[in-house]
Structure 1
Amino acid sequence: MTETIRVEDGLEVIGIGFADLRYVMFFAEVPEDMADPAAGEVTRFVTVVRVEADHGTMFLPDFWRLPCPHMVWQFSEALLWAMRHHVDAHPAVQQYVCVSQTRKMDFLCERVIRQFARAGGNARFRCVTRPEPGRTGEKEGIYGFARHEPCSA
């Protein structure tokens, strides 16, 4: 995994090597149609693509296949490490948003969300947005996490 690389204002990337495949995780300012302007918080849209992807293949699920389906658990761990790395490097970011293109990607997102919410570290996050449970495959699923302080007993 690379360090967080600032491409320009509001856009950072992290390189991820996994099973002889190369991925890039993008952290970009949230598009206006997805932002919550009332919140006034720094938010990043997160997406992962294969380095070899082009405009025509970057969102095609068949292009994303791992060499072995059972590697999804290790892949989700790699994504979690990249997310945590960004969180630690950018404490001003208060929210993260990701979009799942397919139901299969929903399962990966759900796994990363559970790990992200439970993982230790300097910052805690909770899931604040999930897709509707009965959504169809044609509709994107939007997930959102917000930084929060744990309650003290």
Structure 2
Amino acid sequence: MFKYLVVAAIIPVLALASPTPFRTCPNNAPVPETFTVGDCTSLPCPIVRGQPLEAKGGNIISPVSTSTVEAYITVSLAGLDLDFPIPEELVDACANGINSCPLVAGQPFDYVFYDDDMNLPLGGITVQIRVGLRDGATEIACVEFDGALI
């Protein structure tokens, strides 16, 4: 009986810790070992206008050594890619989101994107969202997932 209680207690914890499903980006950039968007465990993830949004990429292996990392978001709607404006202070990922800059090629790092007030230009649609990190033209990491803009 005790083991059933332990299993019953563990299953909800595992469900809460489940990562967000994601796809590799079309550019085949490296992906994190784990990825979460808020508490989203199935697609599309709700992205709510005016609400905080936190996305975490864990154990990303950088393909290059660099001290400059730029964060970007691209939204794809009906096959059309649109750059998504993120606050200027969040573009410098070394200053906001990565605690281990400069990056060393082959070494893992974590990245946290946190926007306390998502300013969505559109609402009521589901889009493909790409969140990535780059150093100039070199892709450091990228994930793609479906998001419902609310």
TM-score normalized by the length of structure 1: 0.31
Where is the helix percentage greater, Structure 1 or Structure 2?
Answer: 1
* CA radius of gyration, larger in: 2
Higher RCO, Cα 8 Å, sep 6+: 2
Where is the strand percentage greater, Structure 1 or Structure 2?
Answer: 2
TM-score normalized by the length of structure 2: 0.32
